[in-house]
């Protein structure tokens, strides 16, 4: 929901330190050590659509600087990242560096630094660089805790739009340069030393019969259960990816269930002993979701295998785990020490099964909405085993991954920036923006007005066929390629893809005023047009519709704006808050302080568990507003639709607790909560909603979204006339006399 939280969720790989002396490691803080065109030691993370590069024409010092630039597809942020190879003893650590910017808007440029796990963090949020600026030195300082520190990561980031350059960084501890300090060496876990399958799993599977599929399902269940439940795996003793490759051939060759179970019993025994843990109360009122472990005793395993699994289930576990952590500030999972195996565009059969097993078990144990999947998740595992094995190339593998991800019904979950999928779906778009309105594909606008006029189409035209295929047929066939929490949001994304192609033109038939017409549309690279503009509000953040009605665009308003505009709002009889966008800031608490008569409960969360994977418990209820005798006493109307997602939905939950609030519009995207990134073999990147978000009484928001009090959807006629029918209804609600 907040940038800082998302930022934390997207980059955390935990390691630990011990007191061992070693030679100093040269650092590449000025980007001058370069191999194959990339700065050595530097990585990147964040949203897709940004350009990262070394730049020799804008260096602040010596030859190179590091560049980040937004494109039409850029969303949220992008960051350069560097991990110190060592820990240091001290009280404060300072990162300084030079930043240059050009046209930075809808966010900022800045330095950032983290001390893991959750020791300290700063990303210059609220004090970053905006606009166009020349080289200027900036610095951030964090308080250290060497005993708790497991990793120090830092770099530069660009949030929103524009360009930034980063150069000549420096790190000091208590004012002393690192070269003058003795480092504390990082401990190397046994899991990191296992490199046997770095070049491939050495597993080839041409086909599987029904018995083998069932055995592989059992292996996937148990492999994931052990990964998150076994104390010796949690302590980093095993490279669990590679342990799968060692046992998998034997399970494939098992001639009977008894033989399979014997193999698995021996496998578990060889992992070593561990102490028994304490019983966990799973009947407490704060429990939302219990671990799904009934399969251990009802799958017909041998007595010996069942006993081994129950022993692991009842083991004593700590809150530290080599493969998973929960962020203290938010609670969403960070799947750490997971390799992306990015060089494998088309992973071998072993790695493809690793991808399936890895993703399936992350959902099984750390997806807060597992109960909303609406089918037995274990059956999905069995269904997809042949699909992952039989995928004959990188495109089929990526499509199988996309289909699997779609089965969790989470709008945050998709495949991001995958070359095979971009090639499959096409990287070019016709200029017309489509939306599914009244079950028709309707032109609602153009990504470029000038090019739109040249296309011959008009707003309100109904596109009936595309390249000689009926649109209704295309929607039905393509729906499963568009993961989302609910049907309206699937249609939202699918509509954008209807005019997507790899060709330079698209043939369409359309209906205007009841008459069928045909045309051929030029297509344009996604680098040249912004197909996501509707998520990014560019309108003024505030205006007066008339003397009685004020309007706030939540997609562009900033927290700092609220006190400035409130004098123009407080005397009105109605306030419209438009959430049909994605917030540029997080004004929720500042605005609520003006709206509410008192501090009012509006949301509670659930978090997962390291000690009991699969368990989700409620956190305390959060409140919005404060004691305020001069609170806003007019009507508050909140506008929502399928574009309202995540942070927008969270804002709506807060604003709707105003005593005289109404939600007007249509179903929202139904995906709330801070996201957690997942990487799969082959460099496939996806995300999940990482925490559960609920109303104070426990009502769901995921998949359901924010339910309107008054449902209003655009009509084809209204679109043709250029009307905003949802806004019109909001004005009507405010003007409507109160019942006596």
Model confidence over 110-152: pLDDT tens digits? Answer: 999 999 877 899 999 889 999 999 999 999 999 999 888 878 9
Residue 174 domain-assigned? yes
Whether residue 485 sits in one domain with residue 456: yes
Whether residue 181 sits in one domain with residue 218: no
Given a contact cutoff of 8 angstroms between Cβ atoms, the answer to whether 350 and 140 are in contact is: no
Mean pLDDT to the nearest integer, 671-697: 93
Last residue of a domain, one of 525, 545, 574: 525
Confidence (pLDDT) at 7: 36
pLDDT band at 186 (very low <50, low <70, confident <90, very high): low
Whether residue 402 sits in one domain with residue 277: yes
The number of beta carbons lying within 10 Å of the beta carbon of residue 300 is: 10
- 529 versus 72: which is more confidently predicted? 529
Q: Which residue has the tokens 């005023």?
A: 513
Whether residue 509 sits in one domain with residue 548: no
Residue 240 domain-assigned? yes
With 60 as the cut, is the pLDDT of residue 293 above it? yes
SS3 102: strand
Last residue of a domain, one of 485, 502, 525: 525
Mean pLDDT of the chain: 91
Q: Which residue has the tokens 């990015």?
A: 342
Mean pLDDT to the nearest integer, 573-586: 93
Whether residue 478 sits in one domain with residue 409: no
Whether residue 68 sits in one domain with residue 46: yes
Whether residue 49 sits in one domain with residue 182: yes
Residue 1 domain-assigned? no
Whether residue 560 sits in one domain with residue 492: no
Residue 204 domain-assigned? no
Confidence (pLDDT) at 168: 95
Residue 164 domain-assigned? yes
**Rounded CA separation 531/418 (Å):** 17
With 70 as the cut, is the pLDDT of residue 533 above it? no
Nearest of 87, 107, 117 to residue 181 by alpha carbon: 87
Q: Which domain holds residue 539?
A: 534-735
For 701, counting Cβ atoms within 10 Å of its Cβ (0-12 exposed, 13-18 middle, 19+ buried), the class is: buried
Alpha helices in 581-669 (DSSP H): 588-595, 647-655
Segment holding 596, helix H or strand E:
none
Whether residue 379 sits in one domain with residue 269: yes
Residue 193 domain-assigned? no
434-449 pLDDT tens trace: 999 999 999 999 999 8
Confidence (pLDDT) at 74: 66
Contacts 24+ apart (CB under 8 A), 242-248: 242/194, 242/196, 242/197, 244/219, 244/350, 244/353, 244/354, 244/357, 245/197, 245/201, 245/202, 245/203, 245/350, 245/354, 247/219, 247/223, 248/201, 248/203, 248/219, 248/350, 248/353
With 90 as the cut, is the pLDDT of residue 156 above it? yes
Question: What proportion of the chain, given as a percentage, has pLDDT over 90?
Answer: 78
Given a contact cutoff of 8 angstroms between Cβ atoms, the answer to whether 347 and 341 are in contact is: yes
- 731 versus 529: which is more confidently predicted? 731
Confidence (pLDDT) at 44: 87
pLDDT band at 180 (very low <50, low <70, confident <90, very high): confident
With 90 as the cut, is the pLDDT of residue 19 above it? no
Whether residue 636 sits in one domain with residue 538: yes
Mean pLDDT to the nearest integer, 413-437: 93
Confidence (pLDDT) at 5: 33
Whether residue 465 sits in one domain with residue 383: no
Q: Where are the beta strands (DSSP E) in 251-343?
A: 287-289, 325-326, 333-334
The number of beta carbons lying within 10 Å of the beta carbon of residue 192 is: 14
Count structural domains, the chain: 4
Mean pLDDT to the nearest integer, 468-478: 97
User: 366 CB contacts (<8 Å, ≥6 apart)?
Assistant: 324, 333, 335, 608, 613, 676, 688, 690
User: CA angle, 193 as apex, 190 and 194 as ends, to 5°?
Assistant: 95
Given a contact cutoff of 8 angstroms between Cβ atoms, the answer to whether 107 and 176 are in contact is: no
Last residue of a domain, one of 363, 396, 416: 416
Confidence (pLDDT) at 76: 76
Mean pLDDT to the nearest integer, 499-521: 96
With 80 as the cut, is the pLDDT of residue 187 above it? no
**Rounded CA separation 57/52 (Å):** 14
**Residue 215, CB half-sphere, CA atoms under 13 Å: how many?**
23
User: CA angle, 688 as apex, 685 and 692 as ends, to 5°?
Assistant: 165
Alpha-carbon distances of 480 from 329, 360, 423, 483, rounded to whole Å: 35, 18, 18, 7
Given a contact cutoff of 8 angstroms between Cβ atoms, the answer to whether 576 and 734 are in contact is: yes
Residue 650 domain-assigned? yes
Whether residue 576 sits in one domain with residue 514: no
**Rounded CA separation 650/671 (Å):** 10
Residue 195 domain-assigned? no
Q: Residue 604's beta-bridge partner residues?
A: 694
With 80 as the cut, is the pLDDT of residue 473 above it? yes
Confidence (pLDDT) at 539: 67
Mean pLDDT to the nearest integer, 698-720: 97
With 90 as the cut, is the pLDDT of residue 655 above it? yes
Confidence (pLDDT) at 534: 66
């Amino acid at each position: 929901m907040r940038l800082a939280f998302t930022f934390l969720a997207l980059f955390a790989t935990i390691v630990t330190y011990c007191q061992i002396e070693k030679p100093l490691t040269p650092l590449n803080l000025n980007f001058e050590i370069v191999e194959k065109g990339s700065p050595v030691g530097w990585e990147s993370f964040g949203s897709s659509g940004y350009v990262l590069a070394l730049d020799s024409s804008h260096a602040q010092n010596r030859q190179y600087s590091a560049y980040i630039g937004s494109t039409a597809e850029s969303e949220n942020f992008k960051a350069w990242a560097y991990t110190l190879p060592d820990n240091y003893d001290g009280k404060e650590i300072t990162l300084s560096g030079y930043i240059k910017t050009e046209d930075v808007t809808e966010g900022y440029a800045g330095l950032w630094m983290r001390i893991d796990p959750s020791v300290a963090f700063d990303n210059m949020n609220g004090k970053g660089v905006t606009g166009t600026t020349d080289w200027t030195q900036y610095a951030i300082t964090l308080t250290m805790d060497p005993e708790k520190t497991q990793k120090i990561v830092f770099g530069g980031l660009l949030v929103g739009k524009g360009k930034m350059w980063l150069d000549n960084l420096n790190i000091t501890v208590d004012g002393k340069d690192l070269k003058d300090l003795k480092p504390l060496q990082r401990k190397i876990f046994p899991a990191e030393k296992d490199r046997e399958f770095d070049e491939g799993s050495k597993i080839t599977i041409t086909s599987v019969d029904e018995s083998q599929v069932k055995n592989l399902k059992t292996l996937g269940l148990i492999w994931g259960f052990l990964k998150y439940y076994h104390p010796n795996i949690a302590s980093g003793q095993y490279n669990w990816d590679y342990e799968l490759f060692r046992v998998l051939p034997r399970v494939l060759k098992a001639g009977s269930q008894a033989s399979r179970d014997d193999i698995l019993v021996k496998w578990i025994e060889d992992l070593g002993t561990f102490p028994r843990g304490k019983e966990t109360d799973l009947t407490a009122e704060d429990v939302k979701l219990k671990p799904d472990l009934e399969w251990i005793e009802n799958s017909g395993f041998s007595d010996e295998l069942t006993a081994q699994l129950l022993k692991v289930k009842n083991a004593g576990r700590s809150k530290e785990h080599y493969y998973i952590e929960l962020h203290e500030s938010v609670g969403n999972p960070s799947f750490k020490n997971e390799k992306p195996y990015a060089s494998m565009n088309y992973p071998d059969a072993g790695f493809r099964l690793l991808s399936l097993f890895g993703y399936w078990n992350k959902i099984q144990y750390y997806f807060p909405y597992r109960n909303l999947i609406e089918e037995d998740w274990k059956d999905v595992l069995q269904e997809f085993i042949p699909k992952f094995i039989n995928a004959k190339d990188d495109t089929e593998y990526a499509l199988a991954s996309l289909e699997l991800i779609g089965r969790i019904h989470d709008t945050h979950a998709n495949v991001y920036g995958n070359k095979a999928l971009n090639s499959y779906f096409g990287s070019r778009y016709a200029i017309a923006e489509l939306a599914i309105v009244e079950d028709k594909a309707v032109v609602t606008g153009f990504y470029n007005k000038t090019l739109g006029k040249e296309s011959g189409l008009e707003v309100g035209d109904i596109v009936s066929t595309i390249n000689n295929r009926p649109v209704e047929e295309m929607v039905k066939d393509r729906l499963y390629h568009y993961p989302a929490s609910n049907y309206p949001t699937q249609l939202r994304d699918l509509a954008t893809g209807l005019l997507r192609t790899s060709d330079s033109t698209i043939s369409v038939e359309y209906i205007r005023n009841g008459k069928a017409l045909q045309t051929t549309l030029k297509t344009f690279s996604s680098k040249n047009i912004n197909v996501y503009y509707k998520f990014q509000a560019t309108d003024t953040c505030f205006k007066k519709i008339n003397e009685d009605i004020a309007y706030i665009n939540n997609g562009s308003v900033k927290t700092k704006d609220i006190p400035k505009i409130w004098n123009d709002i407080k005397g009105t009889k109605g306030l419209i808050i438009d959430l049909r966008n994605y917030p540029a800031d997080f004004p929720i608490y500042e605005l609520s302080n003006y709206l509410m008569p008192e501090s009012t409960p509006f949301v509670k969360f659930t978090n997962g568990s390291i000690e009991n994977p699969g368990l989700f418990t409620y956190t305390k209820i959060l409140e919005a507003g404060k004691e305020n005798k001069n609170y806003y006493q007019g009507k508050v109307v909140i506008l929502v639709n399928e574009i309202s997602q995540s942070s927008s939905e969270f804002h709506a939950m807060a604003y709707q607790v105003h005593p005289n609030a109404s939600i007007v519009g249509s179903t929202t995207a139904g995906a709330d909560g801070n996201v957690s990134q997942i990487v799969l073999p082959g460099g496939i990147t996806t995300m999940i909603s990482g925490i559960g978000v609920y109303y104070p009484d426990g009502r769901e928001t995921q998949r359901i979204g924010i339910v309107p009090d008054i449902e209003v959807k655009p009509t084809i006629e209204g679109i043709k006339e250029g009307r905003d029918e949802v806004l019109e209804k909001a004005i009507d609600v405010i003007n409507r006399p109160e019942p006596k």
